[in-house]
Chains A and B, each alone.
Chain A
């Protein structure tokens, strides 16, 4: 039994000494943080050569190093930000880890502006989200100021500023009262990204129609005034306007799309009829038709 215990201790001692092995005098002092894409060097101690492995999800490097000399890395060697682990072949005791961090200088912005089209006068209807990346497509995790500007078709602007947190900044903006394309831009450092937000008129605010003889026997010509939203923007062509004629014993309805801002139609003459007009949920005026043509 005592013989076996002695054998066990001997085996453990041998394993430890093998683990310490030829590189027991080796020391590698990596900086705790390195900026992506910068050159740096790591002093080594000891004698002979060793193989150094630097691995992480962002890169894999293997180098033969002459111990006692500097282990040099060029700007192109480590440019993906992340956490890296250093292994030295033959030394299981060497435990070195370091971070490659993104450059502080923004180089590209991933700018998501939504929606691409919305109606005018919507409070906080537009959202802008910016992810800030450096020249190596690393997310810049340090705080960065980002300014947002939304300029409507008349040139009036809204500005907001935000600071990134974990690489992202966001804002919400109001859509303008004036319809038309708005320029939405985000700026971080020297980088700017632009998006276009189409601001379209809202629902019709009021509708007014007039009636007259159509020139044909027993027909009435109906025509709306230009249909506008509550901010005075012309409602887009194609918006459906509904004319309804209610008479004793029945009802006739005609749906007409707006064309050049107005809707026109003809209805049969029926004495005592009430003619109404509507678009969506908005009702217009009524005409009581009691006369002949």
Chain B
């Protein structure tokens, strides 16, 4: 039996499968710099592991919140100024009828500050991600971004939450 299909249709199918393979459930690569020189409070390995875990979860949460325009999703991993600003952006997106997809490709993380009393920890993240924009469901475009994020996390009952989340100069 011979299966017949048109080339454009085949291209669409292949592209979709490739995209699903490349971006579907793919996790970003993560590198974490050594923590020997963190000041003023030394960071224990266990603390570092939980901070990195919660920070990466915050990125996942951000991706879902922005693509679904659901500010309530931010509650799990954001607090304070960071949560306020991201919530405002989601409300703005809702008003305009646009959605944005943030797909993390890589994170190069470094703990740059851990406060003397352990009440805040600061990460620098040279991150690479792709951002898609849709306007009323219609794709507008995709761009790849490389930038440096600075995040301040504070401890809560069960996890670290991102209190400041701000990108600075591009690394390239």
Task: Assess the B150–A167 pair: CB atoms within 8 A.
Answer: yes
Question: Do A127 and B115 form a contact, CB below 8 Å, given A55-B133, A57-B62?
Answer: yes
Binary interface encoding of chain A residues 94-120 relative to chain B, with 1 for a CB under 8 A from any of its CBs, else 0:
110101011000000000101100000
Given contacts A89-B135, A97-B145, contact A82 B167 (CB under 8 A): yes
**CB of A23 to closest CB in B, whole Å:** 11
Given known A-B contacts A11-B7, A114-B117, A137-B85, A55 and B131 have beta carbons under 8 A apart: yes
Closest to B94 in A: A60
> Which of chain B's residues 81-105 have a Cβ closer than 8 Å to chain A?
81, 84-86, 88-89, 92-93, 96, 98, 100, 102
Smallest Cβ-Cβ distance to B95: which chain A residue? A60
Cβ–Cβ < 8 Å partners of A141 in chain B: 150, 166, 168
**Cross-chain contact A172 with B112 (CB below 8 angstroms):** no
Complex CA gap A102/B135 in Å reads 29
Instruction: Indicate whether B164 reaches chain A with its CB closer than 8 angstroms.
Output: yes
The number of chain A residues touching the other chain, given as a range, is 35 or more
Is the beta-carbon distance between A82 and B117 smaller than 8 angstroms? no
The answer to whether B166 touches A81, judged by C-beta atoms less than 8 angstroms apart, is yes
Query: What are the interface flags for A107-139 relative to B under an 8 Å C-beta threshold, 1 for contact and 0 otherwise?
Result: 000001011000000000001010101000111
Q: Which residue of B lies closest to A54 (CB)?
A: B133
Residue of A nearest to B41 (CB): A127
**Given A55-B100, A89-B135 in contact, is the A97-B143 Cβ separation under 8 Å?**
yes
Report chain B residues within 8 Å CB of A85. 131, 133, 143, 145
Residues A77-97 near B (CB distance < 8 A): 80-83, 85, 87-89, 91-92, 94-95, 97
For B, the interface residue count at a CB cutoff of 8 angstroms equals 45
Task: Report the separation of the CA atoms of residues A168 and B120 in the bound assembly, to the nearest whole angstrom.
Answer: 11
Please encode chain B, from 128 to 146, with 1 for each CB lying within 8 Å of some chain A CB and 0 for all others: 0001010100001111010
A101: B residues at CB distance < 8 A: 168-169
CA distance in complex: A68, B106 (Å)? 38
Q: How far is the CA of A115 from the CA of B168 in the complex (A)?
A: 32
* Contact between chains at A166 and B122 (CB < 8 Å): yes
Binary interface encoding of chain B residues 1-24 relative to chain A, with 1 for a CB under 8 A from any of its CBs, else 0: 000000110010000000000000
* Distance in angstroms between the alpha carbons of A127 and B98 in the assembled complex: 45
Q: 6 interchain pairs (CB within 8 A)?
A: A4-B7, A60-B93, A131-B120, A170-B40, A170-B115, A172-B40
